[in-house]
Amino acid sequence: MEGNAAVLCGLGAWVPPRVVSNKELTTALDTSDEWIRSRTGIEQRYLVDKGMATSDLAVEAGKRAIESAGSPPIGAVVLATTSPDRLCPGTAPEVATRLGLVDVPAFDIAAACGGFMYGLTVASSLVSTGLSGHILLIGAEAFSTMVNPQDRSTAVLFGDGAGAVVLRGGEPGEPGEIGPFDLGSDGGKADLLAVPAGGSRQRFVAATGQGLADARPPEYFLHMDGPEIFRNAVKRMTSSSRKVLDQIGWTPDEVDALAAHQANLRIVSAVGERLGIPQEQWLTNADRVGNTLTASIPILLAASAAKDLLRPSDRVVLTAFGAGLTWGSAAMTWPQITPRIDVIP
């Protein structure tokens, strides 16, 4: 009989086939491989080609997570994304249908790079209250479509991809249990990282050309105050992780793995150092994928488990931060699980 804990039982990830190196970016942008590596740690990213949308990535990752879980009946689909296929309707219902999940509840969560942690909290609540037997949570992004290809301060940072988990109800204390959680937001700093136009505030106006690749004016692309975002990311992921460590009663040296949102390897280092978690325990793959927003943590978990860097009963801290501002963290013990992932970034 199922208890009231939420337990991780399936894990999958998928990245689009096109790999773009730093060097390739230098052909169109005034930047260098050296600058990108030294400021961010990123060496390459995977990007969607024209015609490939977030739902396409989400379906691939979702399919793999369900297989990894042993193909149980799925009772609900939650999709965390910052780059939905369209403004309306949400993307999750289409993803559910394409996965053959008929009539199940399916909805999107919009909390930018914090979105996977928000989704994990909501999905865990749904299974631990018994509302859904097994629930599929996907983080998927084709965010390169929202970044100005001519803006070197943002175009080098982001990558596309998707990761997914399946959660089930379980017994408190069993390996794979997720929690406690911490979530937070600060809307007063929304302008630090935003796509200003295209919603109900700054409405759509006819494109004017301006030499952009797809003739969108700059306000329809991401704007970012990099150094302020850096400072807030370090501060919020550190304090949020501390809260879950305090709640669960683990000391930093008892943590086997820190799975922090992979925006920038310097941010991961700063968070790990402030928390006092030894460097050997920091999981990283921003060098291979860049910042994949809501997909960052599930891709990192799937890749790390596939490399045997996550083992059953490991004590894991998950933490993320993003536009909004939003942030969130959770503790979990690692289950016996075989991720499904074709390319391991």
| Known catalytic membership, residue 134 | no
The Cα 270–Cα 263 span in angstroms is 12
Does 3 engage in binding with ligand COA (CB under 6 A)? no
- We find the least distance from the C-beta atom of residue 158 to ligand COA, in angstroms, to be 8
Q: Please, what is the angle between helix 226-248 and helix 265-275, to 10°?
A: 40
Burial class (CB in 10 A: 0-12, 13-18, 19+), 77: buried
| Residue 190 or 215 having the CB closest to ligand COA | 190
Burial class (CB in 10 A: 0-12, 13-18, 19+), 101: buried
| Known catalytic membership, residue 291 | yes
| Residue 69 or 263 having the CB closest to ligand COA | 263
Footprint of ligand COA on 65-104 (CB under 6 A):
none
The Cα 231–Cα 18 span in angstroms is 32
Given 73, 100, 227, 249, the residue binding ligand COA (CB under 6 A): 227
| Residue 5 or 301 having the CB closest to ligand COA | 301
Does 113 engage in binding with ligand COA (CB under 6 A)? yes
Does 31 engage in binding with ligand COA (CB under 6 A)? yes
- We find the least distance from the C-beta atom of residue 146 to ligand COA, in angstroms, to be 12
Given 19, 20, 35, 217, the residue binding ligand COA (CB under 6 A): 35
DSSP letters, 229-252, are HHHHHHHHHHHHHHHHHHHHT--G
Does 40 engage in binding with ligand COA (CB under 6 A)? yes
Q: Is 260 left (phi over 0), alpha (psi -120 to 50) or beta?
A: beta
Given 322, 328, 335, 339, the residue binding ligand COA (CB under 6 A): 322
The Cα 61–Cα 334 span in angstroms is 20
Tell me the window of 163-171, 173-181, 202-210, 228-236 that interacts with ligand COA (CB under 6 A): 228-236
**Three-state secondary structure call for residue 51:** coil
**Residue 6: CB partners within 8 Å, gap ≥ 6?**
123, 124, 125, 127, 128, 167, 168, 169, 170, 177, 178, 179
Given 47, 65, 142, 263, the residue binding ligand COA (CB under 6 A): 263
Given 97, 153, 185, 247, the residue binding ligand COA (CB under 6 A): 153
Nearest CA-CA partner of 161 in 254, 248, 52? 52
Q: Please, what is the angle between helix 296-306 and helix 115-128, to 10°?
A: 80
Count, residues near ligand COA per rule CB under 6 A:
21
Whether 58 and 140 have beta carbons less than 8 Å apart is answered as: yes
| Known catalytic membership, residue 88 | no
| Residue 31 or 97 having the CB closest to ligand COA | 31
Does 229 engage in binding with ligand COA (CB under 6 A)? yes
Q: Exactly one of 113, 134, 148, 285 is catalytic; which is it?
A: 113
Q: What residues line the site for ligand COA (CB under 6 A)?
A: 31, 35-36, 39-40, 113, 152-153, 156, 193, 224, 226-227, 229-230, 233, 263-264, 291, 321-322
Which residues are catalytically annotated? 113, 261, 291
